Amino acid sequence: MMQIDYPFHISGKGRTELASEDKHIRDLIEQLLFTAPGERVNRPSFGTGLMQLAFAPNSPDLANATQFLVQGALQQWLGDRIQIEAVRIDSQESSLNITVQYLVKKSQQRRMAQLSRSL
């Protein structure tokens, strides 16, 4: 089943661009991780607040807390579609790099999403 691609855009044929189920799940992970709680009108608890944590002093405790936050949000919002296997978060100079390894429940396929944002 095809889903609307994120971010929304028009294809070369002048139609709404569509995404495969695997791409759609990766898009959902990206939206969840980089959305701040309170940013969505009808879903005030949706998101992680991950971008605010990127400015906190770096420490092992912060890394553990961030990993716990991300895994909890993924489980809460996408737990019906994926099973989280591993989350790795690296903050390097001006970028935040996140790797999520997961199992797609519907297809039983293992996938990895590598996401990054400039701070």
CATH number of the domain encompassing residue 63: 3.10.450.40
Instruction: Output the six-digit token pair for 72.
Output: 């909890």
Domain count for the chain: 1
Q: In what order do the strands lie in the sheet with 82-92?
A: 82-92, 95-104, 109-118
Question: CA 52 to CA 29: how far, in whole Å?
Answer: 18
Residue 53 parent element (H or E): helix 50-53
Residue 98 parent element (H or E): strand 95-104
15 within some domain: no
For residue range 95-113, list pLDDT tens digits in order: 778 899 999 999 999 999 9
3 within some domain: no
For residue range 29-62, list pLDDT tens digits in order: 999 999 999 999 999 999 998 877 766 766 667 7
Report pLDDT for 119: 64
Report pLDDT for 54: 64
13 within some domain: no
Q: Using alpha carbons, select from 109, 86, 90, 87 the residue that is nearest to residue 25.
A: 109
Per DSSP, 92 falls in state: E
For residue range 74-83, list pLDDT tens digits in order: 999 999 999 9
**Enclosing domain of residue 114:** 21-118
pLDDT tier, 64 (very low <50, low <70, confident <90, very high otherwise):
confident
